[in-house]
A and B are shown apart, each in its own frame.
Chain A
Amino acid sequence: MVFSSLLFIFKFLPITLLLYYVAPKPLRNMILILASLVFYAWGEPIYIVIMIFAIIFDYTNGLLIEKNSAHKFRKRLGLIASLTVNLGLLSFFKYYGFFVSNFSALFHLNLTTKSLPLPLGISFYTFQSMSYIIDVYLGKVPAQKKILAYATFVTMFPQLVAGPIVRYIDISKQINNRKENLLQFLDGLELFIIGLAKKVLLANNIGVLWSSVKATPIGEMSVLTAWIGIVSFTFQIYFDFSGYSDMAIGLAKMLGFELNINFNYPYISRNVTEFWRRWHISLGTWFREYLYIPLGGNRKGSLKQLRNLFVVWFLTGFWHGANWNFIVWGLYFGTFVVMEKFFLLRWLNNKPSWIGHVYTLLVVIVGWVFFEFDNLTQGLGFIKTMFGMGTNKLIDGHALYYLYTNAILMIILAIGSTPLIYKLLTKIKMTMKITGTIAIPVAYMLIMFLCTAYLVNESYNPFLYFRF
């Protein structure tokens, strides 16, 4: 099930919220777990058992680790067991095909694999579970005694399928001690509508342009078309992912939970290091806390730091997909981060800020090419086209058509990528009187109305009888 669907908005959510708030407080976690299991099983009736198994396993381990906090060996065993199971499940379902095909290519064998369907959300809930086990092991947080409370943490549907990656330590107190209140609920509602609009009205629409460009044979593409295409994807992935995160955080608020923000206007960054502090913040935080710092971070000399950075960026890329292009994407950013750490940031500091903005956007946009093209040769071919290094025309009719039929949308997307609207809205909310108090909700309802129209349209499927 996805948040941006008629089923979720007009059936699942109203029913779940009703049951949740009608139920007495002690039962609410149970209701949340049950609803979340339905939410998960809706798309994944079989693999839900894997998640349930992981929950029981990690919960048990957490208690054992804490019980044995004095015995270093037993404590370690518990940690390794949980990490192995979680990473093992992830590797098996997500990376099995990748490992086998690379192994096979390396040794000139001809192994083929039956492709395994990827269990929903496994990249997210395994990481969430590991955050729990590691923090319990390090003594940063007491183990959760009640299994239902632990299960709430793993399964809660707002962030179950597509993040943000919530660290147990961040919501441990909220599991049993949250006070749902109306203002928080309403804030969540507002955030949900914003996220829905970002996904349905903005991301999905500009995505159509990118699909069109991506399908164009590289030889027929003009330079301008290539840029229009990749810029469209740049917008699409931001509004899609941040929209989904907004919906997740909004829903969490409606259930009384406060989650950390996951995106902070990444495209206004002045350098790549800053970009990664604003993009998919929960992932960056996870890798920093549970990989970079345990490996020693920057506290063991430059050489070790380089190694640590290499590992982190390799895995950041790899986490996104079981393919070499994702690893390249991760290492590509890692390279820039390293360069910035060692000299580039100092150089940028003396330059006017627009240089930093342009530099960052260029790096990010080119990066998305690696992200989107599975085949590295194709990706490089696309980049070559972008920079006029092929035999492609500079401008053609297609490019102009794409441009003017998407110009207004692009302007909206560009403005939406900056904090401008947010700042404006905040200012209005602070100083408004009756007109504003009515206008803002009405505007949101208009947006909701449009979102409904676009959602209904997704299932539009005319049978074109004039072909038959």
Chain B
Amino acid sequence: MDLCNSLERRIVLKKYSLSYKYLLGILMGTYILVLVFLNMITPIKRFSETENRDLEQRPAFSFDNLFHGRFTKEYEKYIEDQFFIRDMWIGIKTDCERILLKNESNGVFLSKNNYLIQSFLMPSDQNFKAKIDTINQIAAQAPLANKYLMMVPTTAEILKDDLPAYAPNDSESAAIKKTKELLDKSITFVDVSNTLTTKKNEYIFYRNDHHWTSKGAYYAYNELSKYMGFKAHDESYYNIKDVTDDFLGSLSSKSGYQFLKPDSIDLYIPKHEKSYSVDYLDLNKVTDSIYDMKSLQTKDKYNVFFGGNFGLIKITTHVPGGKKLLVVKDSYANSLIPFLMDHYSEIYVVDPRYYEDDLSKLVRTNNINDLLILYNVNTFYNDASY
């Protein structure tokens, strides 16, 4: 009796130990077939918003391409780039890593408050000197103007207490200190570190993007006014308009973390709106607004400020007094310049990466009174190669 039962039992168990294999086969087969099918029927994408690049298209076949190994490489890239729901898979991977307690991806840390923080790597002494020299040279193009440098620390400094424990990260404040030492004496250093640090519990930086928020820019503008000699407006001077809640910016792309809470972008519109004109001199385009609302439909919503970075933009306001400002900058200035428009009749905005003309000529021709050089520490000095 007992033997019978035990034998029966073993036969039944053996059945189960075989059945799981069949189930595995069915599940796996279905998985592969479904994905093969879905890959075949979904249309080919041209551009990835998340990665900000063109996606590989189906390569053209030629024997020449084949023998040089090009066809096979391109075909493989094509399969990978066009894989069904690519972005979602990437988000799954980064979320899996978070479970493993990994808090960094591609040079971007995920802080305790779910802020993405771009790590900072201090350049070598030689490289540092070369970079600070470019600032001194820019200032030399405007010998008669009042010169200011605002070097903005990013979350890597301001939110450094929220960084993961022992996260390898160099000190942006050390870079700022060194900047002050090597800066030409004719340039006034505008220090916003303290201001931003005291406000660090407010929403002054984006969680998923390397820029500061309009609020962060506002506080910096406030601080700047003490140096540049005009009276900054109160926040109550503005209608603070929330134009999007769906902003997943540069750091979300860089790190690959997909499933984080998106950012919102605020525009500080003066309650008494005044008219002005914006002249994009490289594009021969004149508009009446510094805000490019179309950008809000794309991935890089920060481009709502001016539509991005250009060689030379001229803003003509109707502010009396005739004071003229030249801003030489990176993208951080884009959200700060709106605040300066009430204090200058003309603002020239130059991005040296795109500007090819003679800066000193621009300064002389237009009788620039004030020169503001505005960069963020991380983009300006960071030596890490991406």
Interface residues of A (CB under 8 A from B): 5-7, 9-11, 13-14, 42-43, 45-46, 182-183, 185-187, 189-190, 193, 397-398, 400-401, 404-409, 429-434, 436-438, 440-442, 444-445, 448-450, 452-454, 456-468
B71-100, CB < 8 A from A: 72, 75-77, 79-81, 83, 86, 89-90, 92-94, 96, 100
Determine if A453 and B21 form an interchain contact, defined as CB atoms under 8 angstroms apart. no
What 9 pairs across the A-B complex have the smallest Cβ distances? Answer: A456-B89, A459-B80, A401-B166, A441-B24, A186-B21, A453-B92, A463-B53, A462-B51, A397-B166
Determine if A10 and B89 form an interchain contact, defined as CB atoms under 8 angstroms apart. no
Q: How far is the CA of A186 from the CA of B168 in the complex (A)?
A: 46
Q: How far is the CA of A450 from the CA of B80 in the complex (A)?
A: 16
24 contacts between A and B (CB under 8 A): A10-B79, A45-B68, A190-B24, A398-B168, A400-B166, A401-B164, A406-B102, A432-B16, A441-B20, A442-B27, A444-B24, A444-B27, A445-B24, A450-B92, A456-B83, A457-B90, A458-B80, A461-B53, A462-B52, A462-B253, A462-B254, A462-B256, A464-B386, A465-B52
Determine if B215 is an interface residue (Cβ-Cβ < 8 Å).
Answer: no
Determine if B300 is an interface residue (Cβ-Cβ < 8 Å).
Answer: yes
Contact partner, A405, options B66, B93, B103, Cβ 8 Å: B103
B347-386, CB < 8 A from A: 353, 379, 386
Which A residues are in CB contact (< 8 Å) with B174?
none
Determine if B39 is an interface residue (Cβ-Cβ < 8 Å).
Answer: yes
Determine if B101 is an interface residue (Cβ-Cβ < 8 Å).
Answer: yes
B35 to chain A, nearest CB (A): 6
Which B residues are in CB contact (< 8 Å) with A408?
100-101
Chain B interface size range: 35 or more
A353 to chain B, nearest CB (A): 32
Instruction: Name the residue of chain B whose CB is nearest to the CB of A445.
Output: B27
Q: How far is the CA of A464 from the CA of B52 in the complex (A)?
A: 7
Determine if A459 and B81 form an interchain contact, defined as CB atoms under 8 angstroms apart. yes
Contact partner, B25, options A185, A449, A463, Cβ 8 Å: A185
Which B residues are in CB contact (< 8 Å) with A6?
79-80, 83
B139 to chain A, nearest CB (A): 24
Instruction: Name the residue of chain A whose CB is nearest to the CB of B253.
Output: A462
Which B residues are in CB contact (< 8 Å) with A458?
80
Which A residues are in CB contact (< 8 Å) with B164?
401, 405
Given contacts A6-B83, A405-B102, contact A466 B250 (CB under 8 A): yes
Which A residues are in CB contact (< 8 Å) with B22?
186
Determine if B27 and A456 form an interchain contact, defined as CB atoms under 8 angstroms apart. no
Determine if B93 and A445 form an interchain contact, defined as CB atoms under 8 angstroms apart. no
Determine if B20 and A463 form an interchain contact, defined as CB atoms under 8 angstroms apart. no
Given contacts A457-B89, A463-B52, contact A43 B31 (CB under 8 A): no
Determine if B188 is an interface residue (Cβ-Cβ < 8 Å).
Answer: no
Instruction: Name the residue of chain B whose CB is nearest to the CB of A192.
Output: B28
Determine if B96 and A450 form an interchain contact, defined as CB atoms under 8 angstroms apart. yes
Known A-B contacts: A10-B36, A462-B52. Give 17 more (CB < 8 A): A45-B66, A45-B72, A186-B25, A398-B166, A405-B103, A431-B13, A432-B16, A449-B92, A453-B93, A458-B80, A460-B90, A463-B52, A463-B53, A465-B52, A467-B379, A467-B386, A468-B353
Determine if A462 and B53 form an interchain contact, defined as CB atoms under 8 angstroms apart. yes
Given contacts A430-B17, A465-B250, contact A441 B23 (CB under 8 A): yes
Determine if A466 and B28 form an interchain contact, defined as CB atoms under 8 angstroms apart. no
A68 to chain B, nearest CB (A): 40
Contact partner, B24, options A189, A398, A436, Cβ 8 Å: A189
Given contacts A397-B168, A429-B20, A466-B331, contact A189 B32 (CB under 8 A): no
Which B residues are in CB contact (< 8 Å) with A398?
166, 168
Contact partner, A445, options B28, B101, B254, Cβ 8 Å: B28
Which B residues are in CB contact (< 8 Å) with A430?
13, 17
Q: Which of A11, A46, A190, A441 has the most chain B CB within a 10 Å cutoff?
A: A441
Q: How far is the CA of A114 from the CA of B162 in the complex (A)?
A: 52
Q: How far is the CA of A87 from the CA of B38 in the complex (A)?
A: 47
B109-167, CB < 8 A from A: 164-167
Q: How far is the CA of A18 from the CA of B216 in the complex (A)?
A: 60
A183 to chain B, nearest CB (A): 7
Q: How far is the CA of A445 from the CA of B21 in the complex (A)?
A: 12
Given contacts A398-B166, A436-B20, A453-B93, contact A463 B27 (CB under 8 A): no
Q: How far is the CA of A431 from the CA of B69 in the complex (A)?
A: 51
